[in-house]
Amino acid sequence: MRYVCELFLVILLVSLAAAQVPATIGEQFSSEEHLAKPGWWPRKGDASRKDYVGAQVCAQCHAALAAGQQQHAMAHTAIPGAEAELPGGKAAYDLGPFHYGLAKKNTAMTYTVTGNGESFSAPILWVFGSGSRGQSFLFERKGNFEEARISFFRNLGISITPDHPAGVPDSLENALGRQIPAEEAPACFGCHTTAANVSNHFDPAHSMPGISCEGCHGPGGAHVAAASAGTGANPEMIVNPRNFDPSTAVDFCGSCHRTWWDINQVSYRGINNARFPAYRLEGSRCWGKGDARITCFACHDPHQPLMKELAAYDGKCLSCHVTSATKKSADHPGAACPVATSNCASCHMPRYEIPKMHTTFTDHRIRVVHDPTSFPD
């Protein structure tokens, strides 16, 4: 069996010769492989709903962390339609003979499509996305979740949802949107809500909107019970990702942001990969055999809003790289930059626009960029 696995790995690596293969590849797994292992992993659904206590209970002991996490975009990546805001109360879009409308009145958000003498209307049940880049809208039809044909984009307004056909629909049926397959829905809600998958059953109606404390740390019921009883909380009762080795740590975030194996198993190529920071990071030369100084949460605190000022990350770069007046060492193996000593990410982590997303993404494949118009994959 071991021989078969090694042979498969060799064949895969040969087929991916054009892609940067991390030296830690033997220690990394796809998200589905992680989910199949014992223990907690984001999107895992074997715990019961009663094992989750909610962020308010977590805040009783971890007030500062819980308050900060509520300011992070992850905490707002899913909003029930009745609670979501719609700028101006309504939005509209035309595509050939079809007119699309979103309207918010009182506590109801409604999606309407009319054209060719026909009409369809349904309440929006969920809004996915914090709005920092955009939001998509989910409604229910014939017992299935569907993603609306139109979405909101921060830099554009209302337009066609990514990966939906841009052409004029041939019928009202095909104009509405995309049905979310039954096998896909648990993964969507698993990355946008907390506890949508419980007792090995998909139950979004009783989930917690957004990724809260337990979305990353796992169900807190046993942990809280032990702490309340004064017996001390067993570390195994709750997960602290900071205790992971670098490869596992990046795979952990990659459970929603795509691991290296997740992308390569589907042979996903091209500039759209700029959306997947975990995959791109592990293709960086400085990732090497895995370095705790450049894991996801070494630079990004999930308990605080995302820092957007590039200079704020300079200290992270200089934890590995020396300045021009310092010699390289075992602790600082990175060479000094001959160009600048600040705003490192502006040169070494370029931003790329993904047309269908109508926004730009920072490429986390850290490198010396010889041609900013190219996208090495």
Is a pLDDT exceeding 90 seen at residue 235?
no
CA distance 28 to 365: 17
CA distance 360 to 350: 10
Q: How confident is the model at residue 209 (pLDDT cuts 50, 70, 90)?
A: very high
Sequence letter at residue 324: S
Stretch 324-337: mean pLDDT, rounded?
Answer: 89
> Which of 226, 255, 252, 253 lies closest to 238, judged by CA?
226
Is a pLDDT exceeding 60 seen at residue 3?
no
Q: Of all helices (H) and strands (E), which one includes residue 191?
A: helix 185-192
CA distance 41 to 144: 26
CA distance 178 to 93: 17
Buried b / exposed e along 211-243 (16+ C-beta atoms within 10 A) = bbbbbbbbbbbbbbeebeeeeebeeebbbebee
pLDDT digits (tens, 9 = 90+) for 276-293: 999 999 999 889 999 999
pLDDT digits (tens, 9 = 90+) for 28-84: 999 999 999 999 999 999 999 999 999 999 999 999 999 999 999 999 999 999 999
Minimum mean pLDDT range among 84-98, 211-225, 234-248, 339-353: 234-248
Torsion angle, alpha carbons of 301, 303, 306, 309, to 10: -60
Is a pLDDT exceeding 90 seen at residue 204?
yes
Percent of the chain topping pLDDT 90: 82
pLDDT of residue 341: 83
pLDDT of residue 232: 66
pLDDT of residue 15: 47
CA distance 76 to 72: 7
pLDDT of residue 234: 67
pLDDT of residue 233: 61
Please state, rounded to an integer, the average pLDDT across all residues of the chain: 91
More confident residue, 231 or 176: 176
pLDDT digits (tens, 9 = 90+) for 90-134: 999 999 999 999 999 888 999 999 999 999 999 999 999 999 999
